[in-house]
Chain A
Amino acid sequence: MKPIFRGGLPRLSFFLLILGALSLVIADLRGDSTRNIRSAISIILTPVQWLVDIPTGVADDISTVLVDRTALIKDNNQLRSNSIQLEKKVQQMMMLRAENVRLRDLLNASARVDDQVQLAELIGVNPDPFQHQIILDKGSEDGVFVGQPVLDAGGVMGQVVEVALYTNRTMLVTDGRHALPVEVVRNGMRAIALGKGSHGELDITHVTDNADIRVGDLLVTSALGGRFPYGYPLAKIVSVKRDPSRKFMIVKAKPAARLDNSRYVLMVGNSASEQSTGTQQPAANGAAAGDN
């Protein structure tokens, strides 16, 4: 039977629950101890994330089925010409790489290795406007780890902040809590690119007044943080302002990656330990990474 009136309110359980939640908050803010709880709950929620992604997937499928023949031919032609151009670049790359290895040998520097990459698909976007995060469909089962760099065709997108069994959460470089050591390609000047929490804009901080930095300069990762491999494009400088009343210049940059609409992304499996072992067959590494 359903009682109409119950004896009082659940005051005690209310306070206990609030206390429990508060201790979770504190544990979460203070360290990694909650990571396991999080990834355990994520496994339960993975189906929800897949379900949410179904409409987008279906829409994609429909648009591939209903696509116009002339559009396909046009696409095909464009891709073919792209591929020829890329092949030409690759030919030069081979030569340059060989030369680079020789020169580095002369310098007694360690050779650079091709990074292993893994293709991942975007299955969700964090609904909280203050957090620039995306959800990808590769998890610890696929060897994804916290701190792993994520790229798209244009450049650096962000890094993994949370790994569940089959999914991971990637923080984009524009998130207000993200910072990334970079250098200017033109002259090797080092700087730090800070996310601002606004879309499509990065702040380059602590650039001294007399630094040589111009609009249009390309910033690449400098690998100084130890997380991102060297030399991936991050952003282009869009404005440089000198303000005599400030110690540093106000420099803004626009991310090179298409943070809003990349559906397929690359996860780079770099780590310091692999660099020493993988020097022998960089090409084989790159090929093997695909089915990893």
Chain B
Amino acid sequence: MNQHSSGGLMIILGTFIVALMLSQIPLPRIMEWWRPEFVAMFVIYWIMALPQRFGVGSAWIIGLLLDVLKGSVLGINAIALTIIAYGTLLMHKRLRMFPLWQQAFVIFALIVLNQLIFYWLQALAGTKADDLHFLIPAVVSALLWPWVFVLLRGIRRTFKIS
């Protein structure tokens, strides 16, 4: 049992390394707003799937890593991810019952929250966010959610992480 869970930990960490890389992949200038929030989506998935193992603390650490990677004010991704992690924990039992397209709507709301918190707090450092472009990633993430979900569920079942 113990061996199993530690192996699973490595797999979960691996998925987050991939998510962090995806958040850094350079995109062409026209598509710079169309980057899905992979890290937030992965956090939501793992909390939904394994709330007993992956919680707000893990989300906080991932958020701190993302802060350093993005060069944003230290701690704001941690705040944003902790809040959406808590929200996901609140409703993970309901969320599991939803069909995928319905989950996508919830994902949209959660990513919007993530983006709002991120850009509000980032504005403290002087970057201005005066248009609604920052909502595009939420739409893209929601559209991508079914694939992310199926992919991560496949990984979880293949490696029997529980």
Cβ distance A175 to chain B, nearest Cβ, rounded Å: 8
**Contact partners of B127 in chain A: CB under 8 A:** 128, 130-131, 176-177, 197
Residue on A nearest B23 in the bound complex, by CB: A127
Q: Assess whether B29 is in contact with A25, with CB atoms less than 8 Å apart.
A: no
Q: Assess whether A21 is in contact with B75, with CB atoms less than 8 Å apart.
A: yes
**Contact partners of B82 in chain A: CB under 8 A:** 14, 17-18, 21
Q: Assess whether B128 is in contact with A18, with CB atoms less than 8 Å apart.
A: no
Chain A contacts with B in 11-40, Cβ cutoff 8 A: 13-14, 17-18, 20-25, 27-29, 34, 37-38
For chain B, the count of residues having a C-beta within 8 Å of the partner chain is 48
Q: Assess whether B79 is in contact with A124, with CB atoms less than 8 Å apart.
A: no
**Contact partners of A6 in chain B: CB under 8 A:** 51-52
Q: Assess whether A56 is in contact with B69, with CB atoms less than 8 Å apart.
A: no
**Contact partners of B70 in chain A: CB under 8 A:** 126-128, 131
Please tell me which one of the listed residues B21, B27, B124, B128 contacts residue A25 in the complex, with CB atoms under 8 A apart. Answer: B124
Please tell me which one of the listed residues B63, B71, B162 contacts residue A131 in the complex, with CB atoms under 8 A apart. Answer: B71
**Contact partners of A25 in chain B: CB under 8 A:** 73-76, 79, 121, 124
**Which of B83-91, B98-106, B141-149 forms contacts with chain A?**
B83-91
Q: Assess whether A126 is in contact with B71, with CB atoms less than 8 Å apart.
A: yes
**Contact partners of B125 in chain A: CB under 8 A:** 29, 177
Please tell me which one of the listed residues A2, A9, A37, A133 contacts residue B89 in the complex, with CB atoms under 8 A apart. Answer: A9
* Binary per-residue interface labels of chain A (149-166) against chain B in the complex, 1 for a CB within 8 Å, 0 otherwise: 000000000000110000
**Contact partners of B65 in chain A: CB under 8 A:** 41, 44-45
Residue on B nearest A37 in the bound complex, by CB: B74
Q: Assess whether A125 is in contact with B26, with CB atoms less than 8 Å apart.
A: yes
Please tell me which one of the listed residues A24, A42, A129 contacts residue B33 in the complex, with CB atoms under 8 A apart. Answer: A129
Interface of B: prevailing SS: helix
Question: What is the CA–CA distance of A128 and B63 in the complex, to the nearest angstrom?
Answer: 15
Whether, in the assembled complex, A290 has its beta carbon less than 8 Å from a beta carbon of chain B, the answer is no
Please tell me which one of the listed residues A17, A44, A126, A199 contacts residue B29 in the complex, with CB atoms under 8 A apart. Answer: A199
Residue on B nearest A122 in the bound complex, by CB: B26
Whether, in the assembled complex, B6 has its beta carbon less than 8 Å from a beta carbon of chain A, the answer is no
Whether, in the assembled complex, A49 has its beta carbon less than 8 Å from a beta carbon of chain B, the answer is yes
Given contacts A10-B89, A14-B86, A48-B24, contact A131 B75 (CB under 8 A): no
Chain A contacts with B in 205-231, Cβ cutoff 8 A: none
Residue on B nearest A175 in the bound complex, by CB: B127
Given contacts A28-B74, A48-B21, A199-B29, contact A41 B68 (CB under 8 A): yes
**Contact partners of A37 in chain B: CB under 8 A:** 74
**Contact partners of B60 in chain A: CB under 8 A:** 17, 20-21
Whether, in the assembled complex, A260 has its beta carbon less than 8 Å from a beta carbon of chain B, the answer is yes
* Binary per-residue interface labels of chain B (45-71) against chain A in the complex, 1 for a CB within 8 Å, 0 otherwise: 000000110011100100111001111
Q: Assess whether A124 is in contact with B78, with CB atoms less than 8 Å apart.
A: no
Given contacts A41-B65, A197-B127, contact A13 B56 (CB under 8 A): yes
Q: Show the binding face of A for B, using Cβ within 8 Å.
A: 2-3, 6, 9-10, 13-14, 17-18, 20-25, 27-29, 34, 37-38, 41-42, 44-45, 48-49, 51-52, 56, 124-131, 133, 161-162, 169, 176-177, 197, 199, 260
Q: Show the binding face of B for A, using Cβ within 8 Å.
A: 17, 20-21, 23-27, 29, 32-33, 35, 51-52, 55-57, 60, 63-65, 68-76, 78-79, 82-83, 86, 89-90, 119, 121-122, 124-129, 133, 162
